[in-house]
Structure 1
Amino acid sequence: MTDPRPHHYRFAHRELPRQVLEYGPRLASPTPDGGSLLPVVVGIWEDYGQTLPPEHRLPSHGLDCRHLQVDGHNILLVVLPAPQGATEAHFVAAVHPKGTKKVRYLTLEHGISPIDGSVDTVLGEWDANGHVNYGRGPSPVAELFVAAVVEKVTKKRFWQR
């Protein structure tokens, strides 16, 4: 099993969720002028890299983001540089579900089976309490991840019926 690279893992699982949960729905909502948050996301990536030893820093090649609106939910989809290690993320999404005041942060992580070495994905979420593992995720295709995210944020739990 390949260990995650510190820059990649900590950006997707520590630094970006911290900022998403701090800034809330504003981050998931499209900017009034329709501009891109890519310079901001790249800046966060690069600033975070400066806190790491030089040998752990990674270039931002492949990093991208865009705002989407799906079924009334505002989503900031972030595409990460290609993952190599287990738990590195293919994508993350900052989601402001319609009708709520909070933002949610979901990940599609690169998974490698410790049993046979097969490659798969894991759908996860970070919140104020930590990480939630939802199990096997979709193939690492942006549209499939977005569909899984929308399904997850609209699914009512048994106590909400």
Structure 2
Amino acid sequence: MDQVFAHIDDHTRLSSHMGERSWRTGGGRLETQTDEGRGQKVGSRIRLSGRVFGVELSVEEIVVERDPPRRKVWETTGAPRLLVIGHYRMGFELSAYEGGSLLGVFIEYALPARAPARWLGRLVGSHYARWCTRQMVDDAVKHFESQPATQLSN
């Protein structure tokens, strides 16, 4: 659990799926920036900004809960400029499971405040939320699958 927590506690890794150009981001990408706390302590700030589907997006987050190696939660601050979701609270939980770790990623979100983003959010917000959380889990699984077993036990 310690190794998994250390890996996903790094927001540049955790949000790496948003930093890669893909059809799901309309060929755009978001860059992750953190304060001196690197998003790894309560009160630390994270900013994502860039273009998705040709639209300039930005969101600022703050870490509100961190209990290594079990749980971390962050939420939006200010007025997020997003396409299909509005304010959100997001996090992950880890537990020991059969000699390894069980990772769950969650998101609680509001729809965007104004049309047309609100309408778009009603159509695809839940799909986006599932895709985003699934990417975070899949990225962690891929990382640890590629590690030799002896390296993981150190």
State the TM bucket, normalised to the shorter chain: 0.3 to 0.5
Which protein is richer in strand relative to its size? 2
Q: What TM-score do you get using the length of structure 2 for normalisation? A: 0.36
- Which one scores higher on RCO, CA 8 angstroms, separation ≥ 6? 1
